[in-house]
Structures are given as C-alpha cells and as structure tokens.
Amino acid sequence: MTLNNPYSVTTETFDSLTAHWQDPQQDLAWNCLFVVPGWLKVWWDTFAADQVASLCAVRNKGALIGIAPLMIEGKTARLMGDPAVCDFVDVITVPGSGRAFFQNLIPYIQNQGITRLDFGAVHTDSVVFTDLVAVAKDMGYETICDPEDVTMELELPSTWDEYLKQLTGKERHEIRRKLRRLNEAARVNLRLVEDPDGVAKEIDTFLTLFRLNRWDKLAFMNDQRAAFFRSLAIEMAAARILRLYFLDLDDVPAAAAMCFDYRSTVYLYNNGYDMRYKSLSVGLLSTIFCIKESIQRGKARYDFLKGPEPYKRRLGGKPVQLYRCQVKLG
C-alpha cells in the first residue's frame, strides 16, 4: 500500500478463505455455490496437481473488499474449477465494490506476467459479468464475452398445487399418473441423508446408481471424479449445504439425487437411478419429490443447473444464459 493508494493486493490460503467465509463480521457476498471455500479446496486437492494457486485478495485501508480464487496456467489466469464439475463461477466481493476490486486486481495480475484472463462460465448477474467487463473496457483492454451454455432455473411458488398449475395440463396429468403408478407398484419413501457420517456411508450407493443410469455417466464417473464426489459430499455435509436424497422402493434404493441447499436456492447437482426401475420413471419422480420438498421448506428457487435437457423445461425450468468472459491484457 502506498500513501496515495489505500488499496492493496495480497494472497490468501484455503484456510484463510474458510476463516473469512465463517466470519460474521465480514461483508463479503459468497453468492456463487461453486466458489465457497470447501468446494474450492476439494476441487483443488483432487484435480489441480499441475496448477499454481493464486488466491488474490484486495483490501481498502486494510478492509477486505474481494477475493479472486485464481489458478495460473502459463500467462493465463483462470478462476478455479472446471466445467465438468463446476457449472459456473465468480469472484467474491463486498456488494458495490466490484469495480474497485477489479481496478486494483488487474494491475497486480499484470505485474505477475499474466496477459490473459479467462474466467469461464458466469451468470449475467455475476460480479465478473457486471464489473470486470466494464472495468476492462474502461482500461482499454479487449474483452470477449461469448454465450457458453445455459442453466435451467425454476422459481418456486409457495405451494405444491401452485407449482402444478404452472405446468401444462399434459405435464400435470403425466406427473399424477406416474406418481399413482409408482405408489401402486411399491412402498415409496424419499429418504434424506445430510449428516457427514451418514453421507460417508451412503455416497457409494449414490455413485452406484449414477453409474447404472447411462453409459455416458459410467464413462464420466472415473476414479478421480468419484473421489471428488466423495470428498465434496462429506465437505458440503459438514457445511450443512448437502442434501443427498434416495428414492427407496420397498426399502431398495431405486434413484438418488445429490442436491445443494445454498442461500434460498436448491441446486440439482447430479442424479442417477437403477435402470431396472426405468418403467416406473424413478429418475424423473425423484426430481419431482425434491422439488415438492423444496417448496414445502419455503425455498425460492430450484436450479437444474447446466444443460437444456427437455425434462427441465417440462418441469418448469427457464433457461438462464451463461457467458465465458475473457480479457486480453497484452
């Protein structure tokens, strides 16, 4: 920090990030699920063997105004994570401090020899999209924001009946028919596992159902990703964010859904089901049960996350555009 500039940039550790996240005196807005400290640490420990971490924090007169969890690849700085397991990312700032944050972060990064920022998929309401783009353009840098994918979001009403009324008549009929047929076929129970010990015991059941679902899911869930899912589930359970659901038929797990309850939103991160029960639509119905339970708990939003699969639209999801934002610094 100089006498003329009240701002300074320092580097953090994963432990200090966790301390900031847990500190009730901090005004930082950790709005993005995929950059909470526990998630970042698990991802880093699992996938980042060849990466260099740069957890950059900007302070104004010593007060923390923002953190960018960066990883360095040559002369490119990226936000931690990868699109295979992190649907979208962002930086963490005190509300209203985004521009000041980037005005001081960019020169610091340049001084480290970085010539390009590639911040991956972000929401249009993210700090990256709203503030980085404006600051970089003001500083004369070329900025590219291309459509990357969509996430499918459902605004939840206050009651289950209101939710059903939002759907088409055909979809309402199909849901009621499928639920009736399921209840006629077996004793049905939606089971929630959310404590760390229970999650540690049940996560392999989830992984088995995930792999039984489709050949592409079997190919996706290699040993490294399975290790990530196990560690992430336990970490998020300890943070009281994970909700691991099992749809049991006659006490046999037929389908499962890994969800994250963060702020006012429930995120459907991944799911799977045993193909032997496909005729009973257990995959779709497990999602229906999760939506109903989220409504009953007063949640404001259900996020199906990335991908415009037809079932998400049928269940009321609306596409929200994600953008890949890049800045050329040299």
Is residue 312 in a domain? no
Is residue 316 in a domain? no
Nearest CA among 200, 267, 262, 258 for reference residue 230: 200
Mean pLDDT by 10 residues, the chain (330 residues): 79 96 94 97 93 96 97 96 96 98 97 95 95 96 95 98 96 97 97 97 97 90 97 98 98 98 97 95 97 98 96 97 95
> At 51, which CATH number?
3.40.630.30
Is residue 314 in a domain? no
pLDDT of residue 141: 96
What whole-number distance in Å separates Cα of residue 144 and Cα of residue 178? 46
What whole-number distance in Å separates Cα of residue 148 and Cα of residue 83? 10
Do 144 and 46 lie in a common domain?
yes
Do 68 and 182 lie in a common domain?
no
Do 287 and 175 lie in a common domain?
yes
pLDDT of residue 214: 85
Do 169 and 54 lie in a common domain?
no
What whole-number distance in Å separates Cα of residue 185 and Cα of residue 235? 36
What whole-number distance in Å separates Cα of residue 46 and Cα of residue 241? 20
Do 145 and 161 lie in a common domain?
no
Residue 65 three-state SS: strand
Query: Is the separation of the CB atoms in 131 and 99 below 8 Å?
Result: yes
What whole-number distance in Å separates Cα of residue 278 and Cα of residue 208? 15
Tell me the pLDDT tens digit for each residue of 134-146.
Answer: 999 999 999 999 9
pLDDT of residue 3: 57
Residue ranges making up the domain that contains 293: 157-299
Nearest CA among 294, 303, 207, 304 for reference residue 256: 207
Do 175 and 260 lie in a common domain?
yes
What whole-number distance in Å separates Cα of residue 91 and Cα of residue 93? 7
Do 198 and 244 lie in a common domain?
yes
Is residue 306 in a domain? no
What whole-number distance in Å separates Cα of residue 12 and Cα of residue 176? 52
HSE toward the beta carbon, residue 182, CA cutoff 13 A: 25
Query: Is the separation of the CB atoms in 119 and 326 below 8 Å?
Result: yes
Q: How many domains does the chain have?
A: 2
pLDDT of residue 213: 82
Do 179 and 289 lie in a common domain?
yes
Q: What are the tokens at 329?
A: 């610094």
Is residue 77 in a domain? yes
Q: What are the tokens at 125?
A: 């309401």
Do 115 and 182 lie in a common domain?
no
Is residue 125 in a domain? yes
Do 164 and 291 lie in a common domain?
yes
Do 75 and 140 lie in a common domain?
yes
Is residue 246 in a domain? yes
Is residue 172 in a domain? yes
